[in-house]
Amino acid sequence: MIFRRFSGRILPAISDSCKLQFEAKRSLRSDAALEAITNALEEKVPNLVLYNYPSFSGAFSALFAHLYHSRLRLPCLILPFSSVIPFRIEDLCLEGFERCYLLDFVVPKDFACQKTACEIICFDHRNSALIRIGSIKEEHKKRLKIIVDTETSSSKAVYKYFSSKLTDKTSSEVEALSLLSVEDKSRVESVLDYIEDIDLRRWMLPDIKAFSFGLKDWRSRINCITNPYMYEQLLKISSADLIAYGNSYFSSRLLDAKKLLKLNKAFKIRLGRGLYGECLGMRADGNHQLSDELGKLLSLQSSAAGLRPIGAITFMQRNNLKMCLRSTDAITDTSEVAKAYGGGGTSSSSSFIIRMDEYNQWISTL
């Protein structure tokens, strides 16, 4: 029999064969998760925490819930929750719990409609959450505590919530407890700032794209069922390390793109047969992963050549010819071209599928 930890306690988990089958499917509603719920109900664990998976805001929220309950030695079951393979009401049996936290997602409709004395507290930061809340009947809302702040990420809201609860629980006769140690506090709060910048789609903090790339490698580790060391690992994440890793990766890609440009001569492209002006472009078949770097480099070269500051990278993708447009100019809007041909994107980055005969008209000098 394999054993698994939750909230500092050992519980029996699934057999070797079941574990291998679960890990292959990567299912969150697994035998291990269902058994953990059954064991928690049998042992009368009062607190259930479900966190949005695979969201980093959800994972860090789970970390803060874990730290709070650990500091006070309160029994607690924490599980990842996926809207793709969600738990069913009959799986959770909320009536058996005193309190249920939903971290980084709004209470599902079947949760809200269930008649139970279990207190449900949920956190979210998405505008879509406000719409979902509006669909919940008023009679059901009375049993819920819904905290939605579109200006603050869920992870920050949960961090503040459990920090305050911990402070309130500390009496004058007991040594003050803190959710985070002095050593961890500034590092974790820096990571939360960056996650919030991504969650709220601001993308304003220095090196935010490098941070985002560096964080992606952690996505496979934020399932507390398959990774029993998740909380310890989250505590050690450093925004500086993630940014350094991301910048190193982007630098190597830029070097590769520059080498490729030297080997492949750029040519003039008449965007929309000239309707949208002219720019420099190149074929990148076999190197489409560098389309962003190549496009930005060509954008600069195109501008220096007196053409529109756009770089056009074209390559075959699943038997289709795809064109990616990039610009380093704040005024230029590449999406006007992409949208005209059934694609889309932003002003600085867009793409679309183009017919070969049409493409030939764009590069023809006749």
Measured distance CA(259)–CA(241) in Å, rounded = 27
- 318-357 tens-digit pLDDT: 899 999 999 999 999 999 999 999 999 999 999 999 999 9
Token pair for residue 334? 């590449």
Q: What's the CA gap between 291 and 311, in Å, rounded?
A: 9
- Whether the CB-CB separation of 350 and 335 falls below 8 Å is answered with yes
Strands (E), 36-141: 47-52, 76-81, 99-103, 119-124
Give residue limits of the domains in the chain. Answer: 20-246, 264-363
Task: Report residue 195: phi and psi, to 5°.
Answer: -65, -40
What's the one-letter identity of residue 208? I
CATH number for 20-246 (one of 3.10.620, 1.10.12, 3.90.1640, 3.40.50): it is 3.90.1640
Instruction: State residue 269 phi and psi, 5-degree precision.
Output: -120, 130
The torsion region of residue 277 among left (phi > 0), alpha (psi -120 to 50) and beta comes to left
pLDDT 10s digits, 19-61: 333 333 345 667 888 888 888 989 999 999 999 999 999 999 9
Q: What is the DSSP string of 91-116?
A: HH-GGG-SEEEEESSPPPHHHHHS--
pLDDT attached to residue 243: 98
The class (CATH top level) of 264-363 is: alpha beta
Equal fold, 20-246 vs 264-363: no
Answer whether 299's CB lies under 8 Å from 329's CB: yes
| Euclidean distance between CA atoms 93 and 48, whole angstroms | 11
Residues (pLDDT < 50) of the chain are 1-26, 173, 366
* pLDDT at site 10: 33
pLDDT at 139: 57
Which amino acid makes up residue 253?
Answer: R
